[in-house]
Amino acid sequence: MYTIKDTNLIKIPKVHDERGALAVIEKEVLPFAIKRVYYLYDVPSDSFRGGHAHKEQESVIIALSGSFEVIIDDGSSRKRIMLNKPTQGLYIPTHIWREIDNFSSGAVCLVLASTTYDETEYIRDYNAFYHLKGEM
Ligand code: TYD
């Protein structure tokens, strides 16, 4: 059963010279093969995103621009992590509740996902998540 200890910050390699920075994600950096990429942008600062867990999907969340905070919760423990570097990715395994808030102006939240979109593998009700974790 995954806990928030199974989440971790992945360092994304970068090449930096006087022309700017280039970060690169090759398959060796990730614990899963990417099936989908999506991103949140134009997010109002008081917006609250996420509010779900996944039965199948593993994710890596990256603040491509600006900053925001990710709350991760395994039903027993909860932790708040600020993401503000495009070279840092937060890995979240399955069955971890996540919420995202405190978006800075211009923040872009990139999500690398191990699955294609399937609403049936979402757990969007915290109580249902909590009870499921208790049974695992
Ligand atoms: P939602 O899961 O609420 O986004 P977040 O977790 O970032 O707050 O998704 C918003 C809407 O977008 C919802 O109607 C589902 C849809 N959606 C897709 O169609 N495809 C996708 O890959 C994702 C992530 C969401």
Domain boundaries, the chain: 4-135
Helix H or strand E segment including 132: helix 126-135
- Calculate mean pLDDT across residues 61-77: 98
| Alpha-carbon gap, residue 54 to 130, rounded angstroms | 13
Confidence band for 1, pLDDT divided at 50, 70 and 90: confident
- pTM for the model: 0.97
pLDDT at 125 over 90: yes
User: For position 27, what pLDDT does the model report?
Assistant: 93
Average per-residue pLDDT for the chain:
97
Percent of the chain's residues with pLDDT above 70: 100
Q: Is ligand 1 within 6 A of the CB of residue 90? A: no
**What are the tokens at 1?**
């059963």
40 lines ligand 1 (CB under 6 A): yes
Kindly give the number of the ligand 1 atom that is closest to the alpha carbon of 109: 7
Tens digit of each residue's pLDDT (9 = 90 or more) over 72-111: 999 999 999 999 999 999 999 999 999 999 999 999 999 9
Outline where DSSP puts E strands in 28-113. Answer: 36-40, 49-54, 59-65, 68-73, 78-83, 88-92, 97-101, 108-113
Annotated active-site residue 52? The verdict is yes
CATH class assigned to 4-135: mainly beta
Instruction: Give, using CA atoms, the residue closest to atom 25 of ligand 1.
Output: 117
Banded pLDDT at 60 (limits 50, 70, 90): very high
Q: What does residue 49 show for φ and ψ, rounded to 5 degrees? A: -115, 175
49 Cα nearest atom in ligand 1: 8
Nearest CA to ligand 1 atom 15: 119
For position 17, what pLDDT does the model report? 97
Q: Whose CA is nearest to atom 22 of ligand 1?
A: 117
